[in-house]
Structure 1
Amino acid sequence: MKLLITLGHRVEEQMNTAYRNSVLVVVLLAATALAPGIAVGIVSHPVDGDVSAQQNATDASANASVTLANQTRTGRSVFVDRATLPEGGFVVLSEAGENDSIVGVSLPLSAGTHEGKVTLRGAPGNDLNRTRLGTNTTLVATLHRDSNDNGRFDGLLTSDADEPYGNGSTPARDRATVTVAASDRPTNASVTLSNRTSDGTTVTVDRATLPDGGYVAVHDGGYNGSNATETLLGATGYLDAGSYENVTVAVAGGNDSTPVDSGRISVVIHDDTDGDRAFQYVSSDGVEDQPARANGSPVADTASLTVERPSTPTPTVTATSSPTETEPSTTATAESTATETPTATPAQEPADESTPYGGESSGREGILDNPLFPVIIGVFALFAVLTVVRR
C-alpha cells in the first residue's frame, strides 16, 4: 500500500512539473507570436562599422576647411595656405561684397589636403571672367564638391551642381586681403573686340583692362563723341580695377528693347568719373563717366556683328484643317456611349489596415498570420490533456 502511495506522489510531481513547463512554453511562444515588431527591430540594427551615406556626407562637410592669409601678389593669382577637401573638388575665389563675383577657380583637386596658388580664371556661366586684380581686393575662398564628377566647376550653370562643403548652412570658407603692388597694377586701359555672331541681345567682348575700374559699353557703328549718347546700345555694371576676358554686355536697339541688327559696332572703356559706381553717361548727357583715353583718343575697338535669330516654324495646313461633316456625329455617338456606361468606383482600403511592419504588409500581421500558430494550438491541446489527467 505504501508503495502505491509513493508511486502516486511521484506521478503527481512529474505531472506538476510538466504542467509548469507547458505553461512556460505557452508564455514564451505567445510572446514571440504577438510581438513580431520586436524581432524586426533587432534585425534592422546596423552591424558594427556600417555608416549611412548621409552620415558620410555630414562628416565630409564637417572635416572640410580652408585657410587664406593676407598676402601681397602680382594680381594674377592667390596663394591658398591650406585646403582640405574630404571628397575632392575645387577652391573657388570670389570678391567680397554684395555681388560676390567669382574671380578664380582652382583646377580639380583630389580628396585630401592641398596648398598652392589659384590662378585667376573664368568659370563656366560667369559673365565677368577676371584675369588680373588691379588694386587691393578682399577675396573669399570657398570649398566646393565636384558633385557631377566631370572635373569642371558647374556651380554657376546649375543651382544644385558642385555645392559648397559646409556644416549645415555655413560653407567652409575663409577671407583675406590681397595686396597688389603699384608696380604690378595695369596702367593702361585697353579693349579688344573680334567679329562676333549673336542672337542680337548680347555682345561678348574678348578682353578689357580697366586700370582704375569703370564700365565696358557697346555703341552702334564706329564711336563718335558728338552723338555717343544716342548710339549707346548697352553697358556693363561697374567693374573693379583689373583685366577681364569674355565680358558679356546686354544690348538693345536704340532706346527700346528690340534686339540689335547685324552691322558694325564699337566697344568703349568708360571711367567712373563721379565715383558712384553707376553708369551715368547717357543720363548726364555725356558729362559723367566719359570714355577712358589713351594718347588723347577714346579707348575703343570696332568689329562686325552678325545677328542670327532662331526661325519660327510656320504651321502647316494639315495641322489646322477642319473636320469633315461626318466626324461630329461620330464623336457625339462616342461621347454618348461613354456617358451611358457606368464607371466603376475603386474600392477603398479600410482605414484600420494600416500597419507598422513594412510597405509590403497587408495589414493583417498578428497571431493569426504567425507561422508558429499551429505549434501554439498543439501546445494548448497538450496543456488541456495534462490538466484532465491531473484531475
Structure 2
Amino acid sequence: MSDATNPYTAAHIQVWEGLEAIRKRPGMYVGSTSERGLHNQVYEVSDWAVNEVLAGRAHHVDVTLEPGGWVRIAIDGPGIPVEAAGHAGGPALEELLTRMHAGPRRDGHRFVEVGLCGMGPFVANALSSRMTAEVRREGVRWVQHFDCGTPAGPPSAEGPTKGTGTVIAFRPDADIFGAAECSFDALAKRYRTLAFLNRGLSISLTDRRPPSERSERFLFPGGAKDFVAFIAAQAGTSDATNVFGFEHEDARIAGSVEVALMWSRTLTGGIHGFANSKPTPGGGTHVAGFREGVAAAINTFVRDRQLLSETDTDLTPDQICDGLTAVVSVKLDRPEFAGATRGILGNAETHESVASAVQERLVTWLAENPRLASAVVGRIAADPWPGPAGA
C-alpha cells in the first residue's frame, strides 16, 4: 500500500501530557482501575507523608478512610510551604499536587520508594474527582481545592490557627475506579510493613466507614527482627530458634543493610526482600547475596566442627534456607530496579555487600550460641531437632 493512497502525517499522532495522560491511561500509573489501583493511588500520598517523617520534618502519619469514599492523610510538623505565603525553596503546596515528580529532596538512602511509579501526590490528585489540601503554618490556616487534578483557585488564607501540619484529603474519581473501595486490611498490611522496615516510624490507619469502624497504629522498635517474628507467627511457627538480626552501613553501596532471620523445624515464612522499603517479589542482588552469605556461614561452622567429612560437599543454599524465615532490607541512594513493575533489585555491588555482612555476623552468632547453632545444623542435616535454648 503506497503513501499516496494511505497518507500518514503528524495529524495521525495523538499526544497526551501530564494530567491528561494520567487520566486517559490510569493503569500505566497506578497499575489498574480496580481495588489494587485505588490502593496505589493512596500510597502515592501516604508514601510521600512517610518520607516527610523519615526526613525529620514530621513525627507521625495518620491515614483515615472517610464515608463517601474520601481518604484523608495527615502529618504533623511545620506544614509544607505555600506559594501564596511567599515561601521559597519548594516544592510548595500547588507544585507538589500539580507537577509530575515534584516532592521533597531525598536526603540519602532513608527515603521510601513512592507508590508504583514514584510520582507522588500529583498522581493521586490527577485521579481524584476532588482534592482538598490544608496547611497549618506560621499561625495561618491555608486551604486549596482541586477538581480532577486542576486547581479550583490559589491557596487561600482561612484564618488563624495554633497548630501546624499538612492534611491532604481526596475522593478517587468514580468515573475511573468505578465502585472499587479501599480495603482496610490491604492498607494495614502496607503500613505495617513500612513500620517494620523503618524503626521508630509511627503510622495510624482509621476506618470511619460504617458499619465496622476500627483503627490500628503501627510502631515497631525492633525493626526487621519484629517483622520476622510477626511473619513466623502468621505462618503458625511456634518452635523457632531465637531471631538473629543486624544493621550495617556500607559506603560501597552508598546505603545500609538490615537483616533478620530464624529457622524452624516445621514451617517456613520464606525470604522477603525489600529495597528502600519497596517489596521485591522477584528478588534481586540483595536476596542472592543473602543466600550466599547464609550458606557460607553455615558451611564454615560445620567445617570448623568437623560435622562434614573432607569428602562431603558443602551444604547448598537450598538446603540451608529450608525452614528459614528472613527479611532482607537494603536502603540505597540510587536503587536500580529491573522489570516494568520494578520488582527486582539490580544494583550489582549490593550482592557482595549483603553476602559479606551476613557471613561475618552469622558466623559470630553461631559461635556465641552453640546450642542454637546445633539446632540449626540439626535441622539442615535432617537430624532430630534439639529444640531452642531453654526448651
More strand by share: 1
Between Structure 1 and Structure 2, which shows a larger proportion of helix residues?
2
TM-score after normalising by structure 2: 0.23
TM-score (norm. length: structure 1): 0.23
